[in-house]
Amino acid sequence: MRTSRVCGLLGAIVSAAFLSVSFVPAQAADLGYGSVKDIPPPPSGRAWYLKGTIGMKNPEPGSIWSESFNDGGFTVHHHDIKSTALYGLGIGVEHSRWLRFDITGEYRGKQLFVAQDSYYRPPCGGPGDCGSNEYTADLESWLGLFNAYVDLGTWRGVTPYVGGGIGIGSITVMGYKDVNVPAGSVYYGDKDKTTTNFAWALYAGLAFDVTPQFTVDLAYRYTDLGDVKTGSATAYDLSGTHSGLEIRDIVSHDLLLSARYRLDHPAPMYPVAFK
C-alpha cells in the first residue's frame, strides 16, 4: 500500500513536470520568446519571489551503533528509513542574470525507521550469548536551508540550474522499541529525543517559465542530515536499561516540485542565452 502511494505521487509529480514543459513553448511564443535570440534582456534591479515546494524524500542511514556492539559478535542485517512526502516554503531573490538565493524551511513529515541485527557468542549457553534485535522508531524532521543557485542559460523558457545549501536539520525520534525474540525481551524508549545538526544540500534541476511572474521547477536534491540518537530505553519488566541506538550518517535523495511567484519585475530574470 505504501509503495503504491509513493509511486502514485511520483507519477503525479512527473506528469505535472511534463505538462509544464509542453505548455512552455506555446506560452513562450505568446510572450515573444520563440527562440533564444528573442529572449529580452533582464530587467534592472533584483526580483524577489515566494516559493512553495512539495516532494518525496528517500532517506538512507549509513549505519547504526549500540553500546552492546562493543561486546563483539554483532552483525547488522538491515537498516532503512521509509520514504514519505515533504512540504516547504521559502523566500528568495533573483540577484542577477546568473545567481539566485533563497531561504527555505520544510516539514519532512514522519517516517518509519527499521533495523535488524543478530549476535552469536559460542556456545550459546543462554539468551545473552545468542539472539537478535529488531529496532523500530518514528522519525519526524524539519529542515531550514540558505540556498544559492547558478542558472546555466535559458532555451525557450527552460533554465537548467545547479545549486547548494547549508543550514540546520532537526530530527525527533519517537516510539523507539527494541524487540529481542530469542531472549524474550522488549525495551521501550524512555522519552522522545530531538537532535539538531548542521545540514547541507546539493541541487540539480530544470525551471520552466509558465508566465513572466510564475515559474515551476523540478529538481533532485542530495541532503546530508547527520546523526541522531534514540535516547535510553527500559525493559518492559523493568529488569534493565540500555543507552539506546545511534542512527549515523543520514542522507536523503529528494525529488522536489516547486513553484516560484515573482513579487515584482513582470519579466523573468533570464540568464545570458548561449548562441
Q: Mind listing the pLDDT tens digit for each residue in 236-253?
A: 988 888 889 999 999 999
- pLDDT (0 to 100) of residue 200: 98
- pLDDT (0 to 100) of residue 45: 57
Model confidence at 41: pLDDT above 80 = no
Arithmetic mean of pLDDT, 228-243 = 90
Give me the CATH topology for the region 2-262.
Porin (2.40.160)
Residue from 225, 226, 242, 222 nearest 234 by CA: 242
For the ranges 108-117, 120-129, 139-148, 186-195, the lowest mean pLDDT is seen at 120-129
**Contact yes or no for 230/198 (Cβ under 8 A):** no
For the chain, the structural domain boundaries read: 2-262
**145-181: burial string, b at 16+ Cβ within 10 Å, e else:** bebbbebebbebbbbbbebbbebebbbbbeebebbbe
